[in-house]
Structure 1
């Protein structure tokens, strides 16, 4: 309910309610989700509301992301996020409408295929292959991996003379790509393809 900022008691402040909801959402993972097996994340990325410093607006829009490696945990996160936001809004006399759009499934490498293709990866990268840590990025490759055994690899693009711990990640204006990695990328795709086909060929 919009009102003058000098008389907040005449309205319902969605900005205050939104701030409380954001704080409340921090407990969805830290206090309500079993992360002993699979990490999970709930993050708010945008907040949009208001038109002028002395007006309490009528509404507020927020958007964010929910990440988990397990389908069951993800469904519980959806329920907990919805309940948390709706009940906090209700406690402030406001109403929250929560829309959850399911996008990508977790991208999980097929263990047998990964083991089978390791020699190809090592050849393509000159032996410079490591198992990467779990990451929170979303990837539509997961749809392919649900239909057939899949293997997703990261191509290292950080210059060799740069400290990986200090390198700017993607979604950062300082992100830099060492284009010599393109050669490794071509070798990787070519060797994975030919070695996989050759391994499956009948003598």
Structure 2
């Protein structure tokens, strides 16, 4: 039995041309639906990937900013701790506002760093260790701020309480150092 392909529709013989048109339209509609689903699914996946990459970038920027704040804070800590062994001239020069590194400027910087850290929601860090280090660093900066406030009323470096410098200030310095290491280590380890 010979079949004329011109007389068949979708390789099924015996269909009228109007039936054939309906079948072609049905299969075309099914193909269009499948193509639309595939395109939408692909766009959704690409959007999810882009959103995830953007979130990672924002987290990296946040962690890098915190790390920078902690690094700058360490410099102030070191300067303040060195003043315990300073002579009266060095100490008074630090208290004079005309110096590049003065008590007033360091106090302003510490207040700014502390305000910045206090604005950070620890939930944005997505890591309990980094959240804990953020809280410890905030506390340590507050200890430094209180020490700088106390230094304003001191007229000689030997009048600073050694127990205070070696106790809370040294502990706060260690906390800031540890927090900074945690943040530096995590900058490139953010998933």
Q: Could you tell me the TM-score, scaled by structure 2's length?
A: 0.25
Larger radius of gyration: 2
More strand by share: 1
